[in-house]
A = this chain, B = another copy of it.
Amino acid sequence: MSQRMKNLTKRQEEILNLIKTHISDFGFPPTRADIAKTLGFKSPNAAEQHLRAIEKKGFIKILSGASRGIVLSESENNEIPVIGLVAAGGPILAQENIEKTIPKSRNLFSDDIDYYLRVKGDSMVDVGIYEEDLIGVSKSKDFKVGNVVVARINDEVTVKTLIEMSQTKVVLRPENQNYKDIIVNPETDELAIEGSCVALVRESI
């Protein structure tokens, strides 16, 4: 969420969702009257004023004079970032790491993807993950032993298979015979599992 995007109230969020749902159901935005009817307002002006408030907060643009002229803003909310090189030290999703963004509406996958990470290096070739591939990462999905995960070890971000995970020992395996397992003690090393890899996209073969 960018800085100039103030938070919506509960009601405003409800209306924004209604707009999105209407677009997805019909292919075009609702009228003020549509909104009023759906939410039980007795005046279309109630919808009008909510729209103004939502526009003021930057989530939509109202095209004056045009019927159904509600344009959703391209907020980060609707866009999945593609993370290129991760600068050491900062958070993965820092602005400087974002190579481009892909509209959420283009998501092909059933899982929710929080970001795509561009793969660097050949440490995962044995499971078919190649340099320059994009990995779809889910932050929320609970990861298990055996999953391919995005891990951060002492400020370095890496994609590996999670082999073992206990209080004192975490084993991350590169899927490439030329590399050795990474064994980390979470009590002495800084370790964070940032997310689980749920999908892969290769833009050129």
Measured CB to CB, the residues of A under 8 A from B are 23, 26-29, 31, 63, 67-72, 102, 105-110, 125, 127-130, 133, 135, 147-148, 197-205
Task: Find out whether the CB atom of B29 lies under 8 angstroms from the CB atom of A27.
Answer: yes
Task: Find out whether the CB atom of B105 lies under 8 angstroms from the CB atom of A105.
Answer: yes
For A27, A67, A105, which residue has the most chain B Cβ atoms within 10 angstroms?
Answer: A27
Closest 6 CB pairs of A and B: A200-B202, A28-B28, A67-B67, A128-B128, A128-B130, A197-B205
Q: How far is the CB of A51 from chain B (nearest CB, A)?
A: 14
Q: Which residue of B lies closest to A200 (CB)?
A: B202
Q: How far is the CB of A194 from chain B (nearest CB, A)?
A: 15
Could you write out 17 A-B pairs with CB less than 8 Å apart? Answer: A23-B27, A26-B63, A26-B71, A27-B70, A27-B72, A28-B29, A28-B68, A31-B67, A67-B68, A106-B107, A106-B108, A128-B129, A129-B205, A135-B205, A200-B200, A200-B201, A200-B205
For A128, A147, A148, A201, which residue has the most chain B Cβ atoms within 10 angstroms?
Answer: A128
Which residues of chain B have C-beta atoms less than 8 A from A72's C-beta? 27
Known: A148-B205, A202-B199. A108 touches B105 (CB 8 A): no
Q: How far is the CB of A187 from chain B (nearest CB, A)?
A: 29
Complex CA gap A164/B143 in Å reads 45
Complex CA gap A70/B26 in Å reads 9
